Amino acid sequence: MVTFKDHFSQVAGAYAHWRPTYPDALFDAITAVVPASASVWEPGCGSGQATRGLSQRFVHVHATEPSAAQIEQHWARSAQAGNVSLAVEPGEATALPDRSIDLVAVAQALHWFDRPRFYAECERVLRPGGVLAAWTYQDMVFAGDLEDAADAFRAEIAPYWPSERAQVDAGYADYAWPFPALPAPSLWLTAEWTLPQLLGYLGSLSATARCRAASGSDPVEAHAAALAHAWGEPAQVRTMRWPLILHLRQKPLSPKRISFGA
């Protein structure tokens, strides 16, 4: 039995509703190295923020997630996406057959995995020449009048981030990857949001949920007035931005001995 650190089941509904969607440029970078005929495994799929884009570009997506609450909120459950299958499975173990997959796509989830075990599973299910695509988006970049109010909120929740958050901040830069690298572009994740959308997003963060549970108070409510003062008219739309880091790794066509170190 593979256990997992469940930071999102308690905020599954908020996560599904408030998380931003990924840009076309991300999927364009992946389709440049993986054909549309590919079968895809998306471990750690959450509520489907990436599944939608993957399903529009590839013949089939098998989306898996260890949290049943997240799967219940998954986009494909109500979207009638006929080329998406769902399963409650950890990223380190899937029922997929050996050499059955052309692309493993991991969106904002690799830092939660037991990577040596996950890499071994990628080696097992990927066909020779198949690609592992893993991406993460770092902290939102606040500008100008919003920065001070946002920094005060972030300072309050900072002690409640899981230790894995440091890996996101580093953009997975220190990972021991299992396969050789392919070129990957620098990207940004953006969203056109009103103030209520920003507050909803902040409420979906795992550190916010942990802060609520530990302190009994809501840090979003505590800082909402300052954020509102800096934002101005709540219905005003602002462009929110996150650095988006993509890693592309290709399994060699010829077999070789691979060490799956952490």
What distance in Å separates the CA atoms of residue 194 and residue 200, rounded to the nearest whole number? 10
CATH no., domain 9-141+164-189+243-250: 3.40.50.150
At residue 1, the pLDDT reads 40
CB 55 within 8 A of CB 45: no
Q: In terms of pLDDT, which residue wins out, 261 or 86?
A: 86
pTM: 0.87
Mean pLDDT of 233-246: 97
At residue 143, the pLDDT reads 83
DSSP the chain: ------SSGGGHHHHHHHSPPPPHHHHHHHHTTS-TT-EEEEET-TTSTTHHHHHTTSSEEEEE-S-HHHHHT-THHHHT-TTEEEE---TT---PPTT-EEEEEEES-GGGS-HHHHHHHHHHHEEEEEEEEEEEE---B--GGGHHHHHHHHHHHGGGS-TTHHHHHTTTTT---SS-EE----EEEEEEE-HHHHHHHHHTSHHHHHHHHHHSS-HHHHHHHHHHHHH-STT--EEEEEEEEEEEEE--SS--------
- The average confidence (pLDDT) of the chain is 91
At residue 19, the pLDDT reads 77
At residue 257, the pLDDT reads 56
What distance in Å separates the CA atoms of residue 108 and residue 102, rounded to the nearest whole number? 20
Q: In terms of pLDDT, which residue wins out, 89 or 17?
A: 89
- Summarize pLDDT for 5-31 with one digit per residue, the tens: 544 444 444 545 777 889 999 999 999
Band the pLDDT of 131: cuts 50, 70, 90: very high
- Summarize pLDDT for 173-224 with one digit per residue, the tens: 999 999 999 999 999 999 999 999 999 999 989 899 999 999 999 999 999 9
Q: In the numeric block, which tokens belong to residue 108?
A: 């904002």
Mean pLDDT of 99-106: 98
Task: Compute CA distances 76 → 1, 178, 190, whole Å.
Answer: 26, 30, 23
One-letter amino acid of 258: I
At residue 255, the pLDDT reads 66
Q: In terms of pLDDT, which residue wins out, 167 or 4?
A: 167
Band the pLDDT of 78: cuts 50, 70, 90: confident
At residue 79, the pLDDT reads 78
